[in-house]
Structure 1
Amino acid sequence: MTKWVEHGNGICWEESTLLADAGLRHGVTGKSGGVSEAPFTSLNLGLHVGDQPKAVLENRRRLCALLGYPMQKLTTAQQTHEDHVVAVGPAEIGCGAGSYADALAHTDAIMTNLPGVPLMLCIADCVPVIVYDPVKRAVAVIHDGWRGTVQRLAAKTVFAMRLAYGSDPKDLLAYVGPSISRAHYEVSESTAMAFRRLGTAYGNCAGEKDGVWSVDLWQANRLLLEEAGLRPDHIEVTTSCAFAEEGKFFSYRRDGGHTGRMGAFAVL
């Protein structure tokens, strides 16, 4: 089960009880508790969407204060729907904390085994995936739209954790967080066919009804994680659709492309 966590300052997030019970501080933030003005009301965490930088930095400061870490350690990326995974070491700590320009370039998955380093990626329909290794003490945060999913980014990140930290996939716990559900995720036929080319199981994640194609990114990412070696009972999938739940989440599609960004975050 996932859990909706509300704090006194108005900041809320959804978290996985599976990962939380294993000791990981993590979540996908909602819209409330920040200072941004419409159409970014109010906890917009993205510096690249046209919001006032001062407001975004205050929002980030508030989130980091809740987590108990200075904003200067927040580490994030310039997400470009590619399959690059970056291991965050001492040199990468704080990249993108205060400026989009110095965020990790061409990166849609970040991971670390350093305690006290909050990792965060920005979300507004695409799928956030958080992978935690409670044995080797490592964590990854992934931003997975349809392009990243077709490029098998979640599975590649698990492989990267094996290489970098010696993670055993059978130990890993994963959370697929709030994002657009299949019911609201219309795609082109060519996009649907990209999933079908991955094989029968992935092909079943894409379907057509009355001439409209749709894709289930939640199920596709679950399949990728299982294929990478995770136990099915070690994967928790949200039931929260960012598009449908307007009061809680930003949605790029629902809001016409001019909206804020939630933060998918994790810190050891």
Structure 2
Amino acid sequence: MSSPYHALKDAGDVMYVEVQMGTQWIKHKDGIAWEESGQLHRAGLCHGVTGRTGGVSPAPYHSLNLALHVGDSVSCVLENRRRLCAHLGCRLDVLTTPQQTHEDHVIAVGDSEIGRGAGSYHDAFPHTDALMTSRPGVLLLICIADCVPVILYDPVKKACAVIHDGWRGTASRLASKTVFAMQTVYGSQPRDILAFIGPSISREHFEVSEATSDIFRHMGPAYDQCVYKTADTVCVDLWQANQQLLLHAGLLPQHIDTTTHCAYQDEQAFYSYRRDGGHTGRMAAFAMIPAI
């Protein structure tokens, strides 16, 4: 039996726009949109990274702000979350999300953790930047506005994860640690895991200090190559760094899809913490194993 997520697509509720090899932009008639990996979609995972349109939040959060901690009206955020859940064919009370603090903690979501953070930021998992689960019908969600979202799916063991990877999380190798956590908890083999690195700030707009760039240089030669220096600036390519983390964790290169969408550059489609001076909304990276 097909999931509600696939049934909605079959009903003509969305249109597809190809944006690059391996990923596609999904836009609904009400304006809600997200980018997803073709590989993860074909493997059966409901997932994506949302844009900013199709919600009810007023400026400066206009319009699909999905975060409860940025100063937006709680009622607006909950309505936005309900709208997203309706497109995914799930209830709001299965949405599960953390309080993201740029650390390297990974939480496995089981029956007793389902719904944490769905309606209250204070109920979300503290000090956590990655969630994983093998439970069907559980919507894992992280909020982003420049930081890199990484979505993982093991179609063999039926386990998925969502990761919030800013430069601190990337420097602490959070993506690799999440792969290891999936190996430990679910018995996943890295060669089976599929990955999507989603819309976030691109190298061209992620200027950093020399001290920050040195952190990446000291991670090893592969990460030193993620630092780009000109006469005036030093920038870090977080997409490239996360690709390296996944490769070093054992993922196959052909199993990694990477966006070409820069959140900073495309103001109409995405929020950007850096571009908007810190006063803005948040997109969401989500993943849900459809219930049979």
TM-score by length of 1: 0.99
Deviation per CA, 1:209-266: give whole Å up to 9, x if none: 1131100000000000000000000000110000011110000011111000001000
Deviation per CA, 1:194-214: give whole Å up to 9, x if none: 000000110110121113110
- Give the Cα–Cα distance (whole angstroms) in 2 for the partners of residues 92 and 209 of structure 1: 47
Partner residue of 2:194? Answer: 173
Which amino acid letter does the alignment assign opposite residue 105 of structure 1? P
Matched, 1:257 2:257: no
Matched, 1:243 2:264: yes
- Give the Cα–Cα distance (whole angstroms) in 2 for the partners of residues 239 and 207 of structure 1: 18
Partner residue of 1:266? Answer: 287
Partner residue of 2:185? Answer: 164
Partner residue of 2:132? Answer: 111
Cα distance, 1:18 vs structure 2:
1.2
Matched, 1:66 2:87: yes
Which amino acid letter does the alignment assign opposite residue 117 of structure 1? V
Cα distance, 1:57 vs structure 2:
0.3
Which amino acid letter does the alignment assign opposite residue 150 of structure 1? A
Partner residue of 1:207? Answer: 228
Which amino acid letter does the alignment assign opposite residue 236 of structure 1? D
- Give the Cα–Cα distance (whole angstroms) in 1 for the partners of residues 228 and 272 of structure 2: 22
Matched, 1:121 2:142: yes
The 4+ residue runs of structure 1 with deviation greater than 3 A are none
Partner residue of 2:105? Answer: 84
Unmatched tracts of structure 1, length 5 or more = none
Which amino acid letter does the alignment assign opposite residue 133 of structure 1? D
RMSD over aligned CA atoms reads 0.5
What SS class does the counterpart of residue 78 from structure 1 fall into? coil
- Give the Cα–Cα distance (whole angstroms) in 1 for the partners of residues 32 and 174 of structure 2: 29
Give 2:60's match in structure 1, choosing from 39, 42, 45: 39
Matched, 1:133 2:147: no
Partner residue of 1:153? Answer: 174
Deviation per CA, 1:2-49: give whole Å up to 9, x if none: 101011221000111111111111000001110000000000000000
Partner residue of 2:34? Answer: 13
TM-score by length of 2: 0.91
Unmatched tracts of structure 2, length 5 or more = 1-21
- Give the Cα–Cα distance (whole angstroms) in 2 for the partners of residues 200 and 5 of structure 1: 37
Matched, 1:186 2:219: no
Give 2:75's match in structure 1, choosing from 31, 51, 54: 54
When the two structures are aligned, how many residues end up with a matched partner? 268
- Give the Cα–Cα distance (whole angstroms) in 1 for the partners of residues 263 and 132 of structure 2: 24
- Give the Cα–Cα distance (whole angstroms) in 1 for the partners of residues 26 and 279 of structure 2: 26
- Give the Cα–Cα distance (whole angstroms) in 2 for the partners of residues 33 and 260 of structure 1: 13
Deviation per CA, 1:111-156: give whole Å up to 9, x if none: 0000000000001000000000000000000000000000000000
Partner residue of 1:195? Answer: 216
- Give the Cα–Cα distance (whole angstroms) in 2 for the partners of residues 78 and 161 of structure 1: 21
Identity within the alignment, %: 65
Select between 1-10 and 114-123 the one with higher mean Cα deviation: 1-10
What SS class does the counterpart of residue 184 from structure 2 fall into? helix
Partner residue of 2:47? Answer: 26
- Give the Cα–Cα distance (whole angstroms) in 1 for the partners of residues 75 and 208 of structure 2: 36
Which amino acid letter does the alignment assign opposite residue 100 of structure 1? Y
